[in-house]
Amino acid sequence: MPVKLSVKRLHADAVLPSLGHPESAGCDLYAAKDDFVAAHGKAVIPTGIAIELPAGTYGRVANRSSMSVRNHIQVAAGVIDPGYTGEIGVVLFNHSSKDYMIRKHDRVAQLILESFQTPTVVEVDELGPSARGDQGFGSTGS
């Protein structure tokens, strides 16, 4: 059963999220205006849209692989909580030594809907046993 994503245009010419292919996991998000991400800098790119997420989901804003591989542009701060209904902004980091230009209506990220569970936090004196225990960073080798 298809899931409905309600989208409100905040600007008349904003582009609605769209699937690149029918089987795509994420919807493309588009820039609402010309902008740029300075070399070794970051920027928040407005999309000109607000969304209402389906019950039991949050929005994960993810990289577009072509922007990452070709231009060293990566998405950060990628969680949209279900109760947030303001404009979606895409935080981009530029790991390149060149400014990266964004043109109005460029695809800048993907929106992926993911299911989640809200936990009840319970303090305990001990945690259950596990094979890994407290072995963290690098515990499985280099």
- Other CB atoms within 10 Å distance of the CB of residue 59: 24
Specify whether the CB–CB gap between 135 and 141 falls below 8 A. Answer: no
Q: Counting beta carbons within 10 angstroms of the beta carbon of residue 87, is it exposed (0 to 12), middle (13 to 18) or buried (19 or more)?
A: middle
pLDDT at site 141: 67
pLDDT at site 128: 92
Q: What is the pLDDT of residues 10-67, one digit of tens each?
A: 999 999 999 999 899 999 999 999 999 999 999 999 999 999 999 999 999 999 888 8
Mean pLDDT on 106-133: 93
pTM above 0.75, yes or no: yes
The residues that bridge with 92 in the sheet, in sequence order, are 43, 75
Q: 6-115 has which fold? A: Deoxyuridine 5'-Triphosphate Nucleotidohydrolase; Chain A (2.70.40)
Work out the angle at residue 50's Cα, subtended by the Cα atoms of residues 59 and 19, and round it to the nearest 5 degrees. 60
pLDDT at site 124: 96
Task: Put the strands of the sheet holding 79-80 in their side by side order.
Answer: 18-19, 27-30, 107-115, 57-62, 79-80
**What are the boundaries of each domain within the chain?**
6-115
Q: Compute the half-sphere exposure of residue 112: CA atoms within 13 Å on the CB side of its CA.
A: 16
